[in-house]
A and B are shown apart, each in its own frame.
Chain A
Amino acid sequence: MTAVSADGLDAAADGPGGGEARTDSGESYRLNVDGFLRSVNAARIEDSLLTVLRDVLGVTAVKDACEQGRCGACSVLLDGRLAASCTVLAADADGSRVVTVAGLGGAGLTRAIRAMFLAEGAVQCGFCTPGFVVAVTDLLTRHPDADEGEIREALSGNICRCTGYGRILAAVRAVQAERGIIPPADAHAPGNAQDRPDGE
């Protein structure tokens, strides 16, 4: 199996050695995943970024659920924008920056989000969690002081089938409180199950 790429267009990301040189390496194209350039071969043109990340590159930080762009489990940041990797064609992501939950790192905002997901019980089976952490990171980066309605709206592309959204919302509010964006008292307002009159 051999492959060729001539992606001089993205030379800045790919560095030297594009074009014919890749023929010998059996590489179709490269993906910048979590800051590492990864060679992709044996992938088909119709393969989604999700398929290539998981099945070709072994990046299991993205989860495979609906493959229709509806559940958010495969969420990544593509050139800094939140995207469902199952709706992105992998070969078209050559030259783009792909960041999964693993690449968001254990520091800063993402560390706080992970910690609060645990502290607030926003994790049960955990399958949806990587996608949620990416989506919450995207939301709080763009809109640190998002109110409850805005948080619900922003996370509506991510589906959780076991914990329920109250705990996830509480985790996001707790991150905002920890960072001094909202008063601590507000962190346990409407999203907290114990405080809701309907107990939902």
Chain B
Amino acid sequence: MVRAGVLRPAAVPGRVVLVMAGGTTSTMFRPRTVGEAVEMLAAAHDSGAAVALLGGGTDLVPALRSGERCAEAVVALRRVLELRVRGAGADSLTIGAGVTYTDLAGWSLSPGLARAARVVGSVQIRNTGTVGGALGSARPAGDLLTFLTAADAEVLTASPRGPDRMSLPRFLADGLAPDALVTAVQLARPGGPQVYLKIGERQAAYPAVVSCAVLVDRVRHRLTCAIGGVGVLPARMGQAERYARDEVDWSTGTVSPPAARRFGDLVVEEAARVAPALPEGPRGSVEYRWHAAGVLAGRAFARCLHHLTGPPAGDTARGPAAGGQR
């Protein structure tokens, strides 16, 4: 057990780098296992330093540079191989917090999630950004958060009190205890088509302004829809989901063509009621984002449920990353 006061590099060979500059000493902890990570996180907090957990760094490192965040100690999780595992059970998929978007992009067990991962950022971002980082940063329109919100994902954590799990909404609302870290997310295996769409200032490397995930479960006769970028956190569109449940012909998994427009209209209404709303800002007026949410939702809905009869005219998926806005 590593404790503050007795923490010496020699005591934990290879796991600690002391960075000294300008008369101050900062500690970089580099655990190899989840157990070590929990111990080092506790030790870092005990030392009284401002601690940052480092996943891929795509959000944290620029935030440190700009001064938006500060850190006197960093627990870097890149070398924790346990966190880089993804697996499938009979009903569920488990994705380690250290799994990158590039790892996810080729995952055949979850084609919808793979397509969502493929439209995140650029090659550079996908190679480094991680699932755990997406949860830790919790950007309002974060690509993965919107998908995971629609997927009813659960967040698995580890702390000195042992492993724990909580729903994604609870995780996003309450955050993590300071001595805990995310180890994985768990979601149901796909039961039908899943589409993720986004609108951004630029296709690549820029965060989404508005994002939408529609997941169809043909076994449980259920459709879920989440919108990112209208609220402070991604929000589920319950009213539109209930409309879909009643409207879809579950024997074929299809709907009548006008249903997509109605679905989109319901999402616009619901997006306007999301609280707390994301304030108006450089990311576009709130009306624009409500409208965009409806357009994306109608389009995603049609792509999920018109698949047997072909997509509607003028709305064909294009390019290698057809799951995204191209």
Contact = CB atoms under 8 A, between A and B. Distances in A.
Interface of A: 1-11, 19-20, 28-29, 41-46, 48, 51, 67-72, 75, 78, 81-84, 86-89, 91-92, 94, 135, 138-139, 149-150, 153-154, 156-158
B14 A6 contact: yes
B162 to A, nearest CB: 26
Interface of B: 9-10, 12-24, 26-28, 30, 32, 54, 56-58, 60-62, 64-66, 70-74, 76, 78-79, 102, 121-125, 127-128, 203-206, 319-321
A25 to B, nearest CB: 12
18 contacts: A3-B19, A6-B10, A19-B10, A29-B17, A44-B26, A45-B73, A69-B205, A71-B205, A78-B128, A83-B124, A87-B124, A87-B125, A91-B28, A139-B123, A153-B320, A153-B321, A156-B203, A156-B205
B20 A28 contact: yes
A28 B19 contact: yes
A19 B206 CA distance: 41
Contacts of A78: 128
Contacts of A19: 9-10, 13
B20 A1 contact: yes
A88 B57 CA distance: 6
A90 to B, nearest CB: 9
Contact of A91 (B15, B17, B321): B17
Contacts of A81: 102, 127-128
Contacts, number: 169
B201 to A, nearest CB: 10
A9 B28 CA distance: 13
B123 A82 contact: yes
Contact of A1 (B23, B79, B123, B206): B23
B182 to A, nearest CB: 18
A70 B206 contact: yes
Contacts of A150: 320
B67 to A, nearest CB: 9
Contacts of A83: 124, 127-128
Given A82-B127, A92-B74, A149-B320, 11 more contacts: A2-B20, A3-B20, A5-B9, A19-B9, A41-B20, A45-B73, A45-B74, A48-B61, A72-B124, A157-B124, A157-B125
Contacts of A70: 205-206
Contact of B57 (A2, A87, A153, A154): A87
B32 A9 contact: yes
A40 to B, nearest CB: 9
Contacts of B58: 69, 84, 87
Contact of A44 (B9, B15, B19): B19
Contacts of B66: 67
A154 B61 contact: no
Contacts of B27: 45
A89 B20 contact: no
Contacts of A153: 204, 319-321
B204 A69 contact: no
Among all A-B residue pairs, the 7 with the closest Cβ atoms: A157-B122, A9-B14, A6-B9, A156-B204, A45-B26, A8-B14, A46-B64
A157 B121 contact: yes
